[in-house]
Amino acid sequence: MNFEMTLADRLQKLKKSLPAYVTLVAVSKTKPVSDLMEAYKAGHRVFGENKVQEMVGKFHEMPKDIKWHMIGNLQRNKVKYMASFVHLIHGVDSLKLLKEINKQAQKNERVIQCLLQIKIACESTKSGMSSKEAENLLKSDDFKALKNIKITGVMGMASFTEDKIQISKEFKTLKLAFERLKELQKNMGVISMGMSGDYPLAIECGSNMIRVGSLIFGNRQYT
Ligand SMILES: *Cc1c(COP(=O)(O)O)cnc(C)c1O
């Protein structure tokens, strides 16, 4: 990254480079509210976090017109803490989790938008469903009974590798899964794929929602 540029500069430059149909989720995990406010003041309203507690804390401190995206692996017992405000949950990978989201959404008299996470990486550490599992889920009566959730698309994470051919193969797999699932779920529109290191490739392969952290906020420090 270019340290001559301010956070707002990096954000604006990135935004200008994106096609208009691509939604930028600014991934602010581990970053202080002051950094998020810099992005907010530069006009940004879409933020992504991967830990529920952290997102809830930031939600309370930040202005209320922000769209909060939960992008991390989600434990069922944490859904209730964010059900009143979360805008989109990216990493949904089971009917069990969907049922809990539905239950908490109902309590809050809301419909919560979710993306099905599809496993596209060859690494065993990355979670998600197979395309077939997602298809079966969408076809099931259990799923059809859930009235307070809406599946608006799919999400995936490519393998952690420099191999561009491998990464683009995985992105294309997600795009294909999206096309198949859209047959069952006509109003699906979101393909969430691409991060700081691979978002241009992801867009080439059909992404319309990218999740970018370090390119905007700088490298993360984990203590
Ligand atoms: C952290 C994270 C990102 C952003 O990663 P960067 O490489 O910093 O852009 C995107 N998606 C998920 C699911 C993440 O956990």
Mind listing the pLDDT tens digit of every residue in the chain (223 residues)? Answer: 555 789 999 999 999 999 999 999 999 999 999 999 999 999 999 999 999 999 999 999 999 999 999 999 999 999 999 999 999 999 999 999 999 999 999 999 999 999 999 999 987 777 899 999 999 999 999 999 999 999 999 999 999 999 999 999 999 999 999 999 999 999 999 999 999 999 999 999 999 999 999 999 999 887 6
Cα 10 versus chain centre, distance: 21
Task: Say if 1 falls within a structural domain.
Answer: no
Backbone angles phi, psi at 55, to 5 degrees: -65, -40
State which ligand 1 atom lies nearest to the alpha carbon of 215.
9
> CA 173, 128, 107, 79 torsion: positive or negative?
negative
Q: What is the pLDDT of residue 127?
A: 84
Task: Say if 222 falls within a structural domain.
Answer: no
Task: Say if 43 falls within a structural domain.
Answer: yes
Q: What is the pLDDT of residue 123?
A: 79
State which ligand 1 atom lies nearest to the alpha carbon of 27.
4
State which ligand 1 atom lies nearest to the alpha carbon of 50.
15
Number of domains in the chain: 1
CB of residue 207 inside a 6 A radius of ligand 1: no
CATH of the domain at 127: 3.20.20.10
CB of residue 212 inside a 6 A radius of ligand 1: yes
CB of residue 69 inside a 6 A radius of ligand 1: no
| Domain housing 148 | 7-217
d(CA 218, CA 213) in angstroms, rounded, equals 7
Q: To which residue do tokens 């599946």 refer? A: 151
Q: What angle do CA 78, 84, 88 make, to 5 degrees?
A: 75
CB 99 within 8 A of CB 145: no
